[in-house]
Chains A and B, each alone.
Chain A
Amino acid sequence: MDRILFGDNQFFAVNHISDEKSRAQAMRFKDDKAIMKTLDYAIELGVDTFMCTTHERIANICEIVRNNPQKYKDFKIYPCMPYAHKYANAVTELGILGTIKQYVPGNFVGSMFKGGMAFLSKDYFSMIELLIDSEMKMFKGINTPVIFLQNVITDLLLGLGMKDILVGYYNYIKKKYDAEAGFITMNMPMLLDVLNSAGIENPIICSSINKAGFRMSGGKELYEETLANRKLRAIAMQVLGGGAINPKEALEYVCKLPNIESILFGASSKGNIEDTVSTIHLFDQK
């Protein structure tokens, strides 16, 4: 994985500290062209990996990338699935079964019921496989070397103790997409324990890692200890704490930590992208 990954929160009005900033971003990135322009700034600065949710607007970005193969020949996308709001809204509206009926392609649910409720584990997992495939459709023809499970799903499964589904996801991504499976989580040490206990060694885990200790469940010290003593390919996200931490100090903290393979950040303006990239390079050299 590259040292620096470019994120997509700013494009979809995701701001963890301010609704006002969030609205300003929604206005600024109303058109796909504005998103593309910002991605191009990042690419110019050598940031070739875009880590993004499977938001419906990403399909348009993929289309642009596919149509300009020369320009984007080194460009990679790390998809993060699912775009959870889509499903959360559907569950409110249609219930859990209704949501499955709506989003699982074909008449999978219908046939399950016709078949006399033969609920076997194989059936559940093939349903999950179909959902993964439908989320991955928009990335056809794009280089996607790592495919992530979003934190809301990873952590839901973690709390429910559904280890086998996490393992199933890991194996399916490898087999079907010839890619690495990654996990986003707000509970990195706990997830690492569970993945290790299931025989998954050195997993790719993206989690909140920042100087303020924000969203580092179990505590900053436990994270630092885990990074120093355990085997994982760590990606640090929310390094700036949503903008609440001084950027220089924030980046210095993350760059000095052991075992951080990549740093994920998002920014809207060319200036901010330049500053962040050059500051990371500066602390990396020290």
Chain B
Amino acid sequence: MVRTAIIGAGKMGISHLSILGANPKVNLVGVCDTSKIVTEMLTKYSSMPCFDDYKVMVETAKPEAVVVSVPTKYHYEVSKYLLERGIHVFVEKPFCLSLEQGKELMDLAAKKNLVNQVGYHNKFVGTFQEVKRILDGGFIGNIYHFEGEAYGPVVTKKKADTWRSDPAEGGGCLMDYASHVIDLINYLLAPITECYGSIVKPVFSSKVDDVVFSLLKLSNDITGLLSVNWSDDTYRKMSTSITVIGDKGKIISDANELKIYFKDKTPEGYSKGWNVKYITDLTTEVDFYLRGEEYSLQMDHFINTVDTKATNSINTFESAYYTDRAINLIKTNAR
């Protein structure tokens, strides 16, 4: 059993909490949130011990592992506090608001030899995992272009401001939506190291960006496009996709469907020409499902890594730091 606590039971936090609650390896020792309605409802209807001050919770409940799902601007302060006390940390994405903060947390986690994971759940999606396997096998030859895209209906009219609409607090399409695609590109192909130019602009928001278009170069010299728009209400929910073109083939994948064209050499289970596979064939089964297998899988991964005293190699603070770095590059080159 892993003594686990959560700080921040908002939209993502409450979903993590439910997934943790259903995990037999988890001993939930504390939930911390500043909203009284959330903690009182949990106290009334569940058996979870609730707190409104995370420092008090850590002192009292003594967790070994903590899930941090507070607004982005608090990620640094809260994670640092936990790492300093030898606690394993899962923190929501995006990682940190400044590169210095991210670097400090990354180094601290390494120095203390603590499990560190960030909530970029796409790496646990079966189709994207298959894309990774095929790319690593070199089956589509020399890659000369990629397109990373995400579209969805988050801000489709002028709205009241929240922390998500404040650039100083980590709001905006680039930080919130595009970060998923950037992280996926970094993971599947190579880290983004250069930005030739970006358009980062509002459509409906008053203070933050709603669309991001960018021309990018990776550390292995592959170039491509990023196109992200969270003001597109022709999508029912967020749709993230990646297209990769090489001299031996092409991959088009989203979270549900994988389409691959092979010119000659194919991996086992595929044939020359077009191949279509669905998430129904590619996903890993989970013991408890809430909103997508990937949410359960990433949390299981965190808990198992802590439980078996292993070292985490997926969605580490380091990989999330490279994502923050790419976000920074895109922002600096925006016009």
Residues of A at the B interface (CB closer than 8 Å) are 12-20, 22-23, 26, 85, 88-89, 91-97, 100, 117, 119, 121, 124, 152, 155-165, 186-187, 190, 212-219, 241-242, 244-245
Contacts and interface: CB of A to CB of B under 8 A. Distances in A.
B162 A93 contact: yes
B21 A160 contact: yes
Contact of A85 (B21, B237, B279): B237
B266 to A, nearest CB: 21
Given A159-B17, A212-B280, A214-B280, A152 B290 contact: yes
Given A85-B236, A97-B35, A160-B46, A215 B289 contact: yes
30 contacts: A14-B236, A15-B256, A16-B256, A17-B278, A17-B280, A19-B256, A19-B257, A23-B234, A26-B236, A85-B237, A92-B154, A92-B164, A96-B10, A96-B37, A124-B45, A152-B290, A158-B18, A159-B17, A159-B19, A160-B42, A161-B45, A161-B47, A161-B48, A162-B45, A213-B285, A214-B280, A217-B285, A217-B289, A218-B288, A241-B280
Nearest to B239: A19
A13 B236 contact: yes
Contacts of A162: 45-46
Interface of B: 10-11, 14-15, 17-22, 35-38, 40-42, 44-48, 153-154, 159-160, 162, 164, 234-237, 239, 241, 254, 256-257, 278-281, 283, 285-291
Contacts of B280: 16-17, 212, 214, 241-242, 244-245
A91 B35 CA distance: 13
Given A17-B257, A159-B290, A214-B283, A93 B46 contact: no
A92 B11 contact: yes
A188 B264 CA distance: 44
A155 B292 CA distance: 12
Contacts, number: 133
Contacts of A22: 236
A156 B291 CA distance: 9
Question: Which 4 A-B residue pairs are closest in the complex by CB-CB distance?
Answer: A159-B18, A186-B289, A244-B280, A162-B45
B21 A159 contact: yes
Given A13-B236, A244-B281, A95 B162 contact: yes
A159 B288 contact: yes
Given A92-B11, A215-B289, A217-B286, A124 B18 contact: no
Contacts of A212: 280-281
B153 to A, nearest CB: 8
